[in-house]
Amino acid sequence: AQSVTQPDIHITVSEGASLELRCNYSYGATPYLFWYVQSPGQGLQLLLKYFSGDTLVQGIKGFEAEFKRSQSSFNLRKPSVHWSDAAEYFCAVGGTMEYGNKLVFGAGTILRVKS
Amino acid sequence: DTGVSQDPRHKITKRGQNVTFRCDPISEHNRLYWYRQTLGQGPEFLTYFQNEAQLEKSRLLSDRFSAERPKGSFSTLEIQRTEQGDSAMYLCASSFSGEAFFGQGTRLTVV
């Protein structure tokens, strides 16, 4: 069965510091991979996606992610965090026809930014 | 605004009452999804439509839950005889090819 693991429930970083959020997945086919961000009480906003091709993908708000097939990972990175990045981040896998186009989400990582 | 729209944003209901939520997807999107999100968890898939056809339902979707997309445009999710365990954020998403766009969600509180 498909599954997504986000090992870190909470992460705290200083403003201006670099960030890496981890995501590991289990999926029976070549996956589509996504990172979403959610502010409290709000819906999910897509940060970036990987469908195929270049394994380093760029997203909005200065985020990037790298797909590593050998490690079944899709970690999210940002070189310099801003206070407005504080939110919850979800990694998701799926969206392919083999699995009904639906997404499977990780449990999320809450990012806190300290000044 | 051309994004996914959900109504209402918040709903408080008494246990045992029925509730209905509406989702208006992005107009050219043929796929529509419902997810449920409880505190501290990621969204969990409930059901999926392609045009007006409901193609998949999760085992999470008990007999008290029903969803429709009558003309392949907006969708409704109804919960009958609500229980406290139904308290959650209900998210709707739409897509055309792989990339899903989410609405702001409907927060349901059952008291």
* Residues A36-92: tens digit of each pLDDT: 999 988 889 999 999 989 999 999 999 999 999 999 999 999 999 999 999 999 999
| Pairwise CA distance, residues A36 & A2, whole Å | 18
DSSP per position, chain B: --S-EEE-SEEEE-TT--EEEEEE--TT--EEEEEEE-TTS--EEEEEEETTEEEEE-TTS-TTEEEE-TTSS-EEEEESS--GGG-EEEEEEEESSS-EEE---EEEEE-
| Pairwise CA distance, residues B40 & B24, whole Å | 26
Give yes or no for residue A107 having a pLDDT over 90: yes
Chain A positions in Cβ-Cβ contact with residue B91 (cut-off 8 Å): 43-44
Confidence label for B15 from pLDDT (cuts 50, 70 and 90): very high
Kindly report the nearest CA distance between residue A90 and chain B, in angstroms. 7
Q: Do A103 and B91 touch (CB under 8 A)?
A: no
Highest mean pLDDT of the ranges A73-77, B38-42, B57-61, B68-72: A73-77
Q: Do A46 and B105 touch (CB under 8 A)?
A: no
Chain A positions in Cβ-Cβ contact with residue B94 (cut-off 8 Å): none
Chain B residue with Cα closest to A31: B98
CA triplet A107, A112, A115: central angle to 5 degrees? 170
Between the alpha carbon of residue B90 and those of residues A86, B20, B22, B51, B55, the distances in Å are 23, 11, 10, 20, 19
Kindly report the nearest CA distance between residue A80 and chain B, in angstroms. 26
Per-residue model confidence (pLDDT) at position A2: 84
Per-residue model confidence (pLDDT) at position A96: 76
Give yes or no for residue B76 having a pLDDT over 60: yes
* Residues A16-29: tens digit of each pLDDT: 999 999 999 998 77
* Residues B86-99: tens digit of each pLDDT: 999 999 999 987 78
As a whole number, mean pLDDT of residues B22-43 equals 94
Chain B residue with Cα closest to A95: B98
As a whole number, mean pLDDT of residues B9-24 equals 98
Q: Do B99 and A41 touch (CB under 8 A)?
A: no
Confidence label for B109 from pLDDT (cuts 50, 70 and 90): very high
Per-residue model confidence (pLDDT) at position B107: 96
As a whole number, mean pLDDT of residues B29-57 equals 93
Per-residue model confidence (pLDDT) at position B1: 53
Q: Do A103 and B103 touch (CB under 8 A)?
A: no
Chain A positions in Cβ-Cβ contact with residue B98 (cut-off 8 Å): 32, 49, 51, 95-96, 101
Q: What is the CA radius of gyration of chain A?
A: 14
Interface list for chain B against chain A, based on CB atoms closer than 8 Å: 4, 6, 31, 33, 35, 40-45, 48, 50, 55-56, 91, 93, 95, 98-105, 107
